[in-house]
Amino acid sequence: MNILITGGCGFLGARLARELLAQGSLALDGAAPRPIARLWLVDRVAPPADLLADARVQGLQGDLLEQIDGGALPLADADLVYHLAAAVSGECEADFDLGMRSNVRTTRALLQACRNAGRAPVFVFSSSVAVFGSAPGVPLPAVVQDDTLPTPQNSYGIQKFIGEQLVADCTRKGFVRGRSVRLMTVSVRPGRPNAAASSFLSGLLREPLAGERTVCPVPPETAVALSSPASAVRGLLRAATAGSAEWGPRTAVNLPALTTTVAEMVQALHALAGDAATALIDWRCDAAIEAIVGSWPSRFDARRAAALGLLPDEGFAAILREYVRENPQAIQLALKG
């Protein structure tokens, strides 16, 4: 089996790649497991050294749209395509043209290239909770259900919803076997901050644990829908392995969400690292970020995901402990217990 991952050298892409390589095989679309022969990682940067050390991995480095237009992607040989590459929420709101190029033109071009290749691969598209939004006159229900109508309220959410519709129509036409996975905000991400409006939901924990100051741009009572990195990857894997009947006729699925508040996240940080950590948080509201994050829903009834065996994380304290276990080199403060 051959697998291609766009954005394959980013945090989630690299984590997904490692999980696929560790499994060694995949039961694609409900079929019998087949060994993974080739894993192409498409990104602007080179793959991490540990992934390149695996003979099954090949990096395809460069601008994704240019690679598609130039015919550089081996889609005629790809059984499974993960489309994770995207411009993120904050930068899409700041630069409309960037978002349209990265999230709409590129997604359309990739689907067209899959069509031209004639292989009808399983196509897993990473969508987002941002397809849902609440605005005056367009309120969201208190709990988002599987059949709640997406009403995005920012450019990123609109672009992701356009991507979902493109995937749905290309699936209907038989060009791909599409599955759009609506990811919750993933926390805690290691590394450095990115341009996502939700980036602070990792930095709020990551930076203090590293002994660095951080800014929280929203009030403590702000409610959010989160998933751990491990839960996000489980959702992406399940989207590939579910049979068509099991996945169902609607291509987009809401992944399970842990509902928590910023205050509860800070409480978990305090329980783990005490005053030394929470004293490093500066509370300075940013109206633009608050407007974006505050428009996203925080409560989901993800029954379709549950039927696929996907459940939310136990609690934020468990997510934070998982981050510490996986990233000991990033922890500079003394931890309790």
Q: Which residues are catalytic?
A: 156
Amino acid identity, residue 199? S
Q: With residue 38 as reference, give the H or E element that holds it.
A: strand 38-43
Question: CB-based contacts of 170: which residues, under 8 Å, 6+ apart?
Answer: 111, 114, 115, 123, 176, 178
Residue 235's contacts (CB-CB under 8 Å, 6 or more residues apart) are: 181, 183, 227, 255, 256, 305, 310
- Cis status of the peptide bond prior to 176, with omega within 30 of 0: no
The residue among 213, 117, 100 whose CA lies nearest residue 159 is 100
Please report how the helices 229-241 and 11-23 are oriented relative to each other, as an axis angle in degrees rounded to 10. Answer: 60
Cβ atoms within 10 Å of 210's Cβ, excluding its own: 18
Q: Where are the extended beta strands (E) located within 45-176?
A: 57-61, 80-83, 122-128
